[in-house]
Structure 1
Amino acid sequence: MRFPPISRICALCCGLAFALTALAGEVRILVQSSPLAGFQYHAGETLWLDMREGDRLTLVREPDNSHDGNAIRVEWRGQKLGYLPRAENRSVAAAMDRGEPVDARIAKMRQHRNPWQRVLIEVFVVL
């Protein structure tokens, strides 16, 4: 079967991108994209001007959290920003409980009156 030249170029570029990522030692798969819960109750407002899209976030499991046994705290440079939303945290909590490496970053920031629409985060499983 013959492929048009553009298909070959796309396939080559995709393969090259995957190979370079693998050589870099880390392959990340996006598993969740969610708003940041509780942003208005923690340090987010005071840190807003320093935060940037693409910044790495730290996820911390809180299995003893009295409000949610699957709670995952979200931190930026050691400061608590909020949590993964309760309705969407079960699979990431299970992965963390199994010891699987996870990573997160700020995907989108926007000024908005509704704190649930201010910060969008992405969570990745690291292979």
Structure 2
Amino acid sequence: MLPQGPTPIKRRGLLAGLAGLAGGLVAPRATQAAPAAAPILLLESHVAGTAYYDAGTLLTGLSAGQRLTLRRQPDNRHDDLAIEVLVPDTGKLGYVPRIHNQPLARLMDAGKILRAEVLDLTPQEWEKVWIQVWMVG
């Protein structure tokens, strides 16, 4: 006589057992709003090109924590992944550096909402504004 192996588990019994393990877990009701996702920090970097734009005049009005606007510039002749960094209703600081812009541009193109804010202001001639970029939605 051949030795008997383990008895195969029947699908219905497996599903019932798994449901029993779940115990008190209940799926959220459709009427409950899902909690808002926390912002995700994507980048800390200087703003590129500040010497060529309005950064010199805009620096006096900037402070750490100030919100900035990011705007895709797909028709930029030097970089089709370009992202402008703007002070809302005031002027252009420069760009997200090319070395960092690809994932951010792809996220923006996919409809994700990115937020930027001033992290720090430094006295160096070529790195005046440091920013943080967050994905918020």
Query: TM-score, normalised on structure 1?
Result: 0.76
Q: CA deviation at 1:77?
A: 2.0
Q: For residues 16-54 of structure 1, what are the alpha-carbon distances to aligned partners after superposition, in whole Å with 9 as ceiling and x for unaligned?
A: xxxxxx97x562110011110001111110111111111
Counterpart Cα distance in 2 of 1:112 and 1:122:
18
1:121 is aligned to 2:121: no
Give the corresponding residue for 2:46. Answer: 35
**1:76-115 paired onto structure 2 within 5 Å:** 76-78=87-89, 79-113=91-125, 115=126
Could you list the runs of 5+ residues in structure 1 that have no partner in the other structure? Answer: 1-21
Report the aligned-residue RMSD: 1.6
Structure with the higher fraction of residues in helix conformation: 1
The aligned residue for residue 10 of structure 1 is: none
Q: Does 1:49 align with 2:48?
A: no
The letter for the 2-side match of 1:112 is Q
Aligned residues: 103
Q: Distance in 2 between matches of 1:26 and 1:107?
A: 22
Structure of larger gyration radius:
2
Higher percent of residues as strand: 1
Q: Secondary structure at the match of 2:61?
A: coil
Cα distance in structure 1, aligned partners of 2:117 and 2:37:
15
> Percent same amino acid among aligned pairs?
38
Normalising by structure 2, we get a TM-score of: 0.70
Residue in 2 that maps onto 1:13: none
- Looking at structure 2, the residues matched to 112 and 31 of structure 1 have their Cα atoms a distance apart, in angstroms, of 24
1:112, distance to aligned residue in structure 2 (A): 1.8
Structure 2 match to 1:75: 86
